[in-house]
Amino acid sequence: MIALFAAAPPVVTVEVGRPLATVRRPPFGVNAGMWDGRFDRSATVAQLRTLAVGVLRFPGGSSSNAYHWFEHRVANNPHWIPALRFERFVAIARAAGGRPMVTVNYGSGTAEEAAAWVRHANVVHGYQIRDWEIGNEVYGSWEYDTHDAPHDPRTYAREAARFLRAMKAADPSIRVGIPAVPGEDRYPSPHRVLNPRTGIRHSGWTPVVLSTLRELGVRPDFLSYHHYPQDEGRENDARLLASRGLIEAATDLRNQLADYLGAAGKQVGLECTEINSSPGAGKQTTSLVNGLFLAESLAQALVAGFGSLVWFDLRNTTWDTPATHRNNSASLYGWRGYGDYGLVSPFDEPYPTYHVAALLARFVAPGDRVLATRGTATGLGLYATLRPNGSLGLLAVNRHPRQPLRVRITLAGYRPAPRAQITEYGVAQDEAARTGIGSAHLNTWWFDHAAITFEYTFAPYSITLFKLAPEASGETQRRATASNSP
């Protein structure tokens, strides 16, 4: 007789005594487009509070390079009057508890115009807007750029130095960032600069910009990185969920900062100020898959040390919304036959990304320590945070569309109370939104088998959040509950 034994589940260990970073500010953010005619409402404040939004970026995307804030007009579309004015954006952002981030007009603006905006916001009105960036994706030919040498890194660096000095003269307390891309030869230019560490010359956007700024004696406060891991029209669910681009980008950008700015590069932060699955709003953007991508992206941003992850966008009212003519292939998961960059539809229907962002608001908060994990379970991402009060958050993402994954989790250096809270979002909730049967909202329940080592089966295409209390506080809570019982 041959005895059959079930294979032992894979083990993933959370190293509670090995923090990777401490979260300083609420990390999740959204782009607030000046085209959003429904942004200026109390309902928006409620939505943003539900998501614990930390950053709100204005005026949004490529329009930033054509927007003249004082006249409230767009240079390359003079007949259009944007729906959202700066003052109302700030009012809603402050009411929601978010911190505004402003992209000043590099494409058709001036350093004096940018400095006047800083002065108007922070000196005249006391808005205390700390984060500003000079231009949006100005390395790309798709951006509006009226300079004699458009999309040129050396021209940009020289102008950016003027912008930065003028803006900080208006308010020395602000942080000013510049757009950057990984890869020393991406978006090549006629200019070649020497990497002093490797001895190799490169012509890409980031090396030329950083080298020129160093020559001018100017250092940005942060690099602004945009992450769209797939090409428009070539979206693929499995490839999207396998992406580790944020971690790779952070390593690359930090290496470039060190190589081209020297010791001063250590003082430059990283912000991911735009992210979505692809630059084409096919049906993947409104599917559960994009929600899984959002969950892992925020977790990876924390591990990689990005200060923020700013989704594009909250409500994409006028840009192909809903988009029925993009990639709506049957090979992509999801029942919505259209795409939309927004977390919510023009009529405030929440997409899976909105629900996932609400779940992530329960996973991470300022003061949390991001923890290391080791071991792998194929198809599962597992991330952890430790709260100042000693509670532990575990975020698990099952990337497999059909296969449940049973995993053994070990908590090294942590003894949890047996009872833990679980919050989940996945196929069942997305199907409820389609059929109207059941609940489309986050599902929360209690799990009574938490231990130093425990096993759990994660449903296909799901995001699961464990909230565990330390054993001592759990025992105290149990006794208090028992003593108050009739």
In 3D, which of 112, 105, 108 has the Cα closest to residue 86?
Answer: 105
Give the model's pLDDT for residue 25: 95
**CA 450 centroid distance within chain:** 30
pLDDT band at 208 (very low <50, low <70, confident <90, very high): very high
* CB of 192 closer than 8 Å to CB of 240: no
Question: Which DSSP symbol is given to 207?
Answer: H
- Average pLDDT value for residue range 363-368: 98
Residues above pLDDT 70, as percent of the chain: 94
Residues in the chain, overall count: 486
Q: What is the mean pLDDT of residues 322-326?
A: 74
Q: Can you tell me whether residue 139 is helix, strand or coil?
A: coil
SS3 223: strand
Q: What is the mean pLDDT of residues 7-26?
A: 95
- Residues of the chain within CATH 3.20.20.80 domain(s) are 25-363
> 453: helix, coil or strand?
strand
Question: Whole-angstrom Cα distance, residue 418 to residue 474?
Answer: 8
What integer is the mean pLDDT of 9-30? 97
Q: Which residue has the higher pLDDT, 318 or 41?
A: 41
| pLDDT over 70 at 384, yes or no | yes
Mean pLDDT computed over 134-147: 98
Contact 369, 385 (CB under 8 A): yes
Residues 328-357: tens digit of each pLDDT: 999 999 999 999 999 999 889 999 999 999
pTM: 0.95
State pLDDT tens for residues 457-468: 999 999 999 999
Dig out the tokens for 213 from the structure. Answer: 């700024």
Q: Is the per-residue pLDDT at 191 higher than 70?
A: yes
For residue 131, the model assigns a pLDDT of 98
CB-count exposure of residue 468 (10 Å: 0-12, 13-18, 19+): buried
Q: How confident is the model at residue 486 (pLDDT cuts 50, 70, 90)?
A: very low
Statement: residue 185 has pLDDT above 90: yes
Give, in order, the Cα–Cα distances in Å from 146 to each of 115, 161, 209, 218: 19, 18, 18, 23
Question: Average pLDDT of 182-191?
Answer: 98
pLDDT digits (tens, 9 = 90+) for 63-116: 999 999 999 999 999 999 999 999 999 999 999 999 999 999 999 999 999 999
Residues of the chain with CATH 2.60.40.1180: 11-15+369-483
Residue 311 has pLDDT above 90, yes or no: yes
Higher pLDDT, 346 or 447: 447
Q: At what angle do helices 153-170 and 111-118 cross, to 10 degrees?
A: 30
Least confident of 109-123, 243-257, 272-286, 307-321: 307-321
Tell me what the mean pLDDT of segment 283-294 comes to.
97
Please tell me the CATH superfamily of domain 11-15+369-483, with its number. Answer: Golgi alpha-mannosidase II (2.60.40.1180)
- Quickly state the pLDDT bin for 7 (edges 50, 70, 90): confident
**Do you find a cis peptide bond into 231, omega within 30 degrees of 0?**
no
Query: Which CATH number fits the domain 25-363, given the four candidates 3.20.20.80, 3.40.50.2300, 3.30.70.260, 3.90.226.10?
Result: 3.20.20.80
Answer for the pair 209, 259: CB distance below 8 angstroms, yes or no: no
Q: How far is Cα 314 from Cα 304, in angstroms, rounded to an integer?
A: 24
What's residue 318's pLDDT? 52
Contact 394, 387 (CB under 8 A): no
In the chain, what's the furthest Cα-to-Cα distance? 85
pLDDT of residue 484: 33
Confidence label for 485 from pLDDT (cuts 50, 70 and 90): very low
Q: Is the pLDDT of residue 143 over 50?
A: yes
* Sequential DSSP letters for 55-105: EEEES-GGGGGTEETTTTEETT-TT---S--HHHHHHHHHHHTPEEEEEE-
Considering only CA atoms, which of 381, 376, 353 is closest in space to residue 465? 381
Q: What is the mean pLDDT of residues 235-264?
A: 97
